[in-house]
Amino acid sequence: MAPWDRMVYARPTAPSPQSFDLCPWRPSCPQRIAALNRPQLTALIVASALFMENVDSTVIATALPVIAADIGSDPIRLKLALTAYLLSLATFIPISGWAADRFGARVVFRCAIGVFIVGSICCSLATSLTEFVLARVLQGAGGAMMTPIGRLVILRATPKSQLLSAMAWLTIPALMGPVIGPPLGGFIATYFDWRWIFWINVPVGFLGIAMVTIFIDDIRGRDPGRLDVRGFFLSAIGLSGLVFGLSVLGQNMMPLPISLTMIGVGAVACVVYVVHSRRTAAPILDLSLLRIPTFYCGAVGGLFFRIGIGSIPFLLPLTLQVGLGLSAFEAGSLTFLSAAGALLMKFTTLPIVARFGFRTTLLWNGFICSVSVAAMSILTFNPPAIVMVSILLLGGYFRSLQFTCLNTMAYAEVEQARMSSATSFFSVAQQVSLALGVAVGAAVVELQRAARPGHEILASDFFAAFATVSALSLVALFFYARLQQDAAAEVAGGDHAARKPVAST
């Protein structure tokens, strides 16, 4: 055992609040890191890597015009770099679970960070549209592995009684990335060189590889057997068709017939995959996981919730800039408040779930989240600053709480041997739902704009869009209501842990 490992396990008691003050310039930093217990330390390391990936996936959005001018391309054509990243995610996420079981989660997670670093370097060195798009595909391959494998590392290293706390840390980068990325990209592209957007990933990535190597155990799952090659290609075609088609439809990047064709081909491939999976002993995406009530609620019910939430990174900046005439920096500063609300959630999730349980928390907080999305439509009327701040800050808090509950409860009754399959499946559901959110929000805006002479976008268009995605997110409440009152009791903690043990599957 390495000296670092002995330091980590040397302190059996719960860490003090000061143990989270990780300041590398202080001599006591190694002792402070060692004071964290293993689940907390693992969650912090994985969350840092995922924060890098989540920021990078959105950071080039506001820098596209500058990048296009530098490499001699059109900004509209350069949007292919955004969709190429999504295409790569949809293609490689399903294989992540098999790879983790075959080679080990720690090995695959380090390799994923390494691929992401190489992709970042290639992006920074690109001199043409083709080179840049191919580099983004390579980045997406690394990012596709990072999210499900990072979640798997936490699930295998964390006792279920501490899972909610660990997942709270993991949820924060997923919510902060989309709101920090665009203003950060605009700032770097305006005041520095756009290539620094990708170079900053290099030292962060190497630090992440070192931390994973030192602190994270290489816990392996069951023998995965042979790769389901046919299932891989079917899922790749189906998911990439759906995610890519919905994304380009929502962002109006391609002619409507092409977008609809992609979605249709993807849907057909997904149906064929469902038939294939029933005849295969070890399918690459295990649909039988949906028989577990808590996983079914987290994946399918969470899909409707994420449709509403997934539209926010698309609709909110447009509302503030196009609808209210704010600058990109002003809009970015306001949207950052959602991330601040997400940070506040970390300190209150455990007592809330311990007091009320998952079912009650998901029901009431899900309703509040839907209302908070609908409340964003008020921004189209240019309300006072205090109203804007309240809507964004509180909305970020409640959405973060809901994400943490869904991401934790989904795995509460999944056997350790099936965790790798569960993380792949859940990540796929997330990507599809987020793409649906963008597509639905954009479709509502486009339909209203197309119906008027001049085809200009009005602030009132976003009012209807927020109302629509909010209504869709309310559908998730029907799935939450089907849960048992003591669902995932062991993970919820408090009085709920004593009521009912977690059911085996």
pLDDT band at 22 (very low <50, low <70, confident <90, very high): very low
Q: What angle do CA 274, 275, 278 make, to 5 degrees?
A: 90
The answer on pLDDT for 25 being more than 60 is no
Confidence (pLDDT) at 121: 93
Interatomic CA distance for residues 52 and 40, integer angstroms: 19
Interatomic CA distance for residues 382 and 371, integer angstroms: 18
The answer on pLDDT for 504 being more than 50 is no
The answer on pLDDT for 120 being more than 60 is yes
Q: Which of 285, 328, 292, 322 is nearest to 190 (CA)?
A: 328
The pTM of the whole model exceeds 0.75:
yes
The answer on pLDDT for 98 being more than 70 is yes
Q: What tokens appear for 451 in the block?
A: 């119906």
Confidence (pLDDT) at 24: 38
Interatomic CA distance for residues 312 and 466, integer angstroms: 8
SS3 423: helix
pLDDT band at 366 (very low <50, low <70, confident <90, very high): very high
pLDDT in tens, 38-78: 666 777 788 777 777 777 776 776 676 778 778 877 665 66
DSSP structure string for 46-100: HHHHHHHHHHHHHHTTTTHHHHHHHHT--HHHHTHHHHHHHHHHHHHHHHHHHHH
Q: What tokens appear for 492 in the block?
A: 């919820």
Q: Which of 447, 326, 417 is nearest to 97 (CA)?
A: 417
Host H or E run for residue 176: helix 163-191
Q: Which of 291, 261, 266, 274 is nearest to 415 (CA)?
A: 291
Interatomic CA distance for residues 352 and 213, integer angstroms: 34
Give yes or no for a contact between 413 and 442, defined as CB atoms under 8 angstroms apart: no
Confidence (pLDDT) at 370: 92
Q: In percent, how much of the chain has pLDDT > 70?
A: 79
Confidence (pLDDT) at 7: 35
Q: How many alpha carbons fall within 13 Å on the CB side of residue 224?
A: 25
Mean pLDDT of the chain: 78
DSSP structure string for 20-50: G---TTSTTHHHHHHHS-HHHHHHHHHHHHH
Q: What tokens appear for 374 in the block?
A: 């609908």
Confidence (pLDDT) at 328: 60
Q: Which of 148, 54, 138, 143 is nearest to 99 (CA)?
A: 148
Which is more confident, 243 or 199? 199
SS3 285: coil
Interatomic CA distance for residues 57 and 144, integer angstroms: 11
